[in-house]
Structure 1
Amino acid sequence: MIKTPLAIAATAAAGLSFAQPALGQSNDEKLGTVHFETSCKSDAQKLFDRGMLYQHSFWYRASQRVFEDVLKADPECGIAYWGIALSLLWNPHVPAPAKNLAEGVAVLATAKTVGAKTQRERDYLDALSAMYADYEKVDHRTRMQAYTKAMEQLAQRYPDDDEAQIYYALALNTSALPSDKTYANQLKGAAILEPIAIRQPQHPGVAHYLIHLYDYPPIAEKGLEAARRYARVAPASAHAQHMPSHIFTRVGYWKESIASNVESSRVANADKEGHDQLHAMDYLVYAYLQLGQDEKAAAVIGEMNAVTGFTETFIAGPYALAASPARYAVERGDWKAAAALQVRASPLAHVQAVTHFARALGAARSGNPEAAKADIAKLAELRDKLRDAKDAYWSEQVDIQRQVATAWMLYAEGKRDDALKVMSAAADAEDKTEKHPVTPGVPKPARELYGVMLLDSGNARDALVAFEATLKKEPNRLGAYVGAARAAEKSGESAKAHEYYSKVVAIADAADNTRTEVTDARAFLTKR
């Protein structure tokens, strides 16, 4: 029997010198070093610091349990309620489920009753309250901006409190506008954290949040040091093993991304953290596809279907389960498979949209524009649902998917000029925003698909421009290199064609034999 990549990794992991602990019992030395000063009893202080280790690696179930243990050790430790409420928000890059928000409001109300012993602790509780205030009426982004302002004031009030500075830097990132290509918030946050990284090199949150702050194409290389450090600082954390791949994906280091996510998936599986496991596996599928190793990508997708222990109302797990099969079909150009994808039931509109997009694109590219129309209509419906929910980011992303699918539907109907206009507009729209941290990337960039359409239309020179623009934003994408090579060859730019075909072979030297584009690249280079 052929072992899958993750099965091989699991076998190897069995020989490691330490076993993975149960939830909330990880060796603190393998999670980094954090000290958050409190007014609580000494035993409670030690527990509080442990809770912060989990919290800074987004290990929320564990952190919440430890903060609850803090209250058992010291019932008057009011700041522990801050830790519980912070844990209930889960990943700060996405809205927390309504159930969690309701629980958090109750926790903060209890904190007011119990009281915190110092003004600093009361200020922490007040700042976090901004994330919960009127959550039934006020949208996530507005509350996030209010929280960021509150954290700015907290950081200014306590300039020597590294934890206040760290959480302010994180808030700057999560509240940044996806359309701000100056990355002002992100660079400001990074400038706060870089000096702390020197003072506290073993702090998991500092390395973690620097990765998020640098997780953007023009500044990604700045995050390489933090990426490599975080994995070493917190080897017992699945998220810490995964996070380096955010930067590796941005710079096109596919083998490094694979190593990162194989380990992350193993640790998450051992700790029964379904969201972390599926999130890592989606990044793993993306990286394998960039190397042309489709069998390995397919094996991971097969394993994903057996993962449990995730929540349908939280995006990470459900998104991965929808996105990986979509990207597997679309990246390989298997349009019939894309058109036949089944929409997985989900309460999240943006999760459903991924599959409807792949289905519509698959139908159109298979020469069946009529079949694409139903899924395009569904994308419009899901976009409107997200708009009604005041989710500006995801409604825009789904609308870009609708535009891309519409362009290819028009193209399949023979309306090439109209199709190219719509496809160009979709690529422009996508370039003005940013990918979400929940995903390594869209199933296929709109700019890359625009290049494909231009090349198919006989406009090789403009296609080459589109593919090169894609590569500037997303280095080492195999499909973009293949497109650039073919466009350069058809444009008569032999030097560029040789350069790009060489890149194809270098990246995908170990690709599956079914990847004919790699075989074609080798054939071109052999003739030269």
Structure 2
Amino acid sequence: MYRWSRALSWLLFAASSAMAGEVHDHGAPEKLGDVSFAVSCDPAEQQPFNRAIALLHSFAYAAAEEAFNEIATKDPHCAMAYWGLAMVHFHPVWSPPLPPESFGQAQQSMLHAAQLGAKTARETGFIRAGGLLFQATPALKPSQRTEAYEQAMAKVAADNPSDIESQVFYALALLSNASPVDKTHAKQKQAVAILEPLFRTHPNHPGLAHYLIHACDSQEMAQQGLQAARAYAKIAPSAPHALHMPSHIFTRLGLWDDSIQSNLASKQSAHRQGDAMGELHAMDYLVYAYIQEGKDDDAERVIEELNSMPSLDMNEFAIAYAATVMPIRMMVERGRWNDAAQAVEAANAPPSIRAIAIWSKGMGLARSGHPGDADAQAARLHQIEKQLRDSGDAYWATQTSILADEVSAWSLQGRGDSDRARFLLQGAADQEDSLEKRPVTPGPVLPAREQLASLLALQGNPAAASDAYAAALIQAPGRRGALMGKAHVDQAIH
């Protein structure tokens, strides 16, 4: 069934020299796995179309766009090529899912696909669903667009029950609407119910493995995603994102050696392909894993590499996040509070990213004997929280509120107000536990419940601290700070 793309690596090898001088967000892989997405275009373009879909399934958006564009050039009447040119601008599990800077371009491509008209009912369904994502209704919020898309893809999947790609794209549509406040993971479980049986019968399909990992990227479901995590890098070994993605599951399970190997490979591949975002994303997960294994020298070397990287686009959310958080992870996890107080915020970074640097300053000040100065940083965090909430970004507004409460709690503790400090940090921990993390991060820089355990230990309550550390380790197995903290307070108890 997948014979169309078995020659994928040969096609990519031939094309690689033409692409070598360009920058791709997830590169131009040489091997992407087996994909068969039948289209009614020129038969000569079927194999290139499979290749373009395989690129899309590994989030190689720039390379996929080039591939779809080449198909459209060779077959100007191929409506699905224009569908693909639009869909490369839909990033379903990233933030934002519909980048505003390319929305107009995507809208024009999808409109052209609709005007050309598809030759099959299945293709018409894909184009109609994509049209709902990019419809010309400015008042629609991104969530309204993705919800309409999901409903339309549900019909495509129902109308084409034996077509793998209809099922895979529907499962991804479900994941695009998975709420970070839904701890039952209803959408993720619905997607897994579609993906798992298909993965058993089509074990070399990149989208099945990739989206299973995203669906299972939670404490509850991580074990269920381990098989896909073990497989994905082997399915698409030349894709930097495929090399990295297994570490989402490895991180959830505390498999630090596996995460390190995954991200070393991804980092090197992304660097070779000029993929700055992919490289930095892997570097952040790598620093996190090194810290948990106590390999501080290795973590510091990665941070030194970060500092030597020129001209980072701090307007790009994922780049700004990784570049900001890596050195802060090192300082805060190791209790280097004077260093943490010197954290530098990039003026042109998104406000939710600047909040992390402000939090580092506040924590550093509060925990090095300057609670008054820390309060000023907490106030700045609340200002950013309001800015984010007013803009409709409820998720990052809540995360920023948690950061502000953490700073305030430690400031109160520094003043000797232990009860209020404990109450505030307990609330921050409960709120943080009620939210899922975004894929951009391996986890909070310093989990609030782990902080609560440290506070309880400092206040002379080792039994409560032990319980809090145990709860923190359920949320994030294998974290070094929680393991060492629990061992210390348990020793005090006994």
Tell me which interval the TM-score lies in, with the shorter structure as reference length.
Answer: over 0.9
Q: Are 1:75 and 2:51 counterparts?
A: no
Distance 1:21 1:371, change over 3 A: farther
Larger deviation, residues 244-253 vs 98-107: 98-107
How far apart, in 1, do the equivalents of 2:136 and 2:350 lie?
A: 22
Q: Are 1:463 and 2:465 counterparts?
A: yes
Aligned partner of 1:87 in structure 2 is 88
> Unmatched 5+ residue regions in structure 1?
1-17, 493-528
SS of 2:237's equivalent? Answer: coil
Q: Displacement of 1:395 after TM fit?
A: 1.2
Aligned partner of 2:428 in structure 1 is 426
How far apart, in 2, do the equivalents of 1:355 and 1:347 lie?
A: 11
How far apart, in 1, do the equivalents of 2:311 and 2:125 lie?
A: 35
CA contact (8 A) 2:317 2:349 kept: no
Aligned partner of 2:251 in structure 1 is 249
Larger deviation, residues 374-383 vs 452-461: 374-383
Aligned partner of 2:394 in structure 1 is 392
SS of 2:102's equivalent? Answer: helix
Distance 1:209 1:366, change over 3 A: same
Aligned partner of 2:287 in structure 1 is 285
Aligned partner of 1:232 in structure 2 is 234
Q: Displacement of 1:104 after TM fit?
A: 1.1
Paired AA for residue 356 in structure 1: I
Q: Are 1:182 and 2:211 counterparts?
A: no
Equivalent positions of 1:56-75 (< 5 A) are 56-75=57-76
Aligned partner of 1:521 in structure 2 is none
Distance 1:491 1:263, change over 3 A: same
Instruction: Please give the per-residue CA displacement for 1:332-387, whole angstroms capped at 9, x wherever unaligned.
Output: 11111111011023341111111111111111111111221232122112111211
CA contact (8 A) 2:254 2:478 kept: yes
> Unmatched 5+ residue regions in structure 2?
1-12, 21-26
How far apart, in 2, do the equivalents of 1:372 and 1:142 lie?
A: 39
Instruction: Please give the per-residue CA displacement for 1:56-102, whole angstroms capped at 9, x wherever unaligned.
Output: 00110000000000101100001111111111124533213211112
Paired residue total: 475
Instruction: Please give the per-residue CA displacement for 1:1-24, whole angstroms capped at 9, x wherever unaligned.
Output: xxxxxxxxxxxxxxxxx9994585
Aligned partner of 2:4 in structure 1 is none
Q: Displacement of 1:114 after TM fit?
A: 2.5
Instruction: Please give the per-residue CA displacement for 1:21-71, whole angstroms capped at 9, x wherever unaligned.
Output: 458588876211111110001222221111111110011000000000010
Distance 1:100 1:71, change over 3 A: same
CA contact (8 A) 1:34 1:203 kept: yes
Aligned partner of 2:146 in structure 1 is 144
Equivalent positions of 1:16-95 (< 5 A) are 21=16, 30-90=31-91, 92-95=93-96
Larger deviation, residues 269-278 vs 341-350: 341-350
Aligned partner of 2:23 in structure 1 is none
CA contact (8 A) 2:244 2:282 kept: yes
Q: Displacement of 1:454 after TM fit?
A: 0.5
How far apart, in 1, do the equivalents of 2:415 and 2:452 lie?
A: 17
How far apart, in 2, do the equivalents of 1:124 and 1:20 lie?
A: 28
Aligned partner of 2:317 in structure 1 is 315
How far apart, in 1, do the equivalents of 2:188 and 2:202 lie?
A: 20
Aligned partner of 1:340 in structure 2 is 342
Q: Displacement of 1:217 after TM fit?
A: 0.4
Q: Displacement of 1:113 after TM fit?
A: 2.6
Q: Displacement of 1:240 after TM fit?
A: 0.4
Q: Displacement of 1:315 after TM fit?
A: 1.9
How far apart, in 2, do the equivalents of 1:245 and 1:290 lie?
A: 14
How far apart, in 1, do the equivalents of 2:372 and 2:162 lie?
A: 63
- The structure 2 residue matched to 1:220, chosen from 219, 222, 226, is 222
Paired AA for residue 55 in structure 1: L
CA contact (8 A) 2:29 2:239 kept: no
CA contact (8 A) 1:43 1:73 kept: no
- The structure 2 residue matched to 1:485, chosen from 468, 484, 487, is 487
CA contact (8 A) 1:21 1:271 kept: no
Distance 1:129 1:392, change over 3 A: farther
CA contact (8 A) 2:240 2:267 kept: yes
SS of 1:205's equivalent? Answer: helix
Distance 1:309 1:235, change over 3 A: farther
Distance 1:175 1:345, change over 3 A: same
How far apart, in 2, do the equivalents of 1:352 and 1:216 lie?
A: 26
Aligned partner of 1:8 in structure 2 is none
How far apart, in 2, do the equivalents of 1:145 and 1:306 lie?
A: 42
Aligned partner of 2:301 in structure 1 is 299
Paired AA for residue 63 in structure 1: A
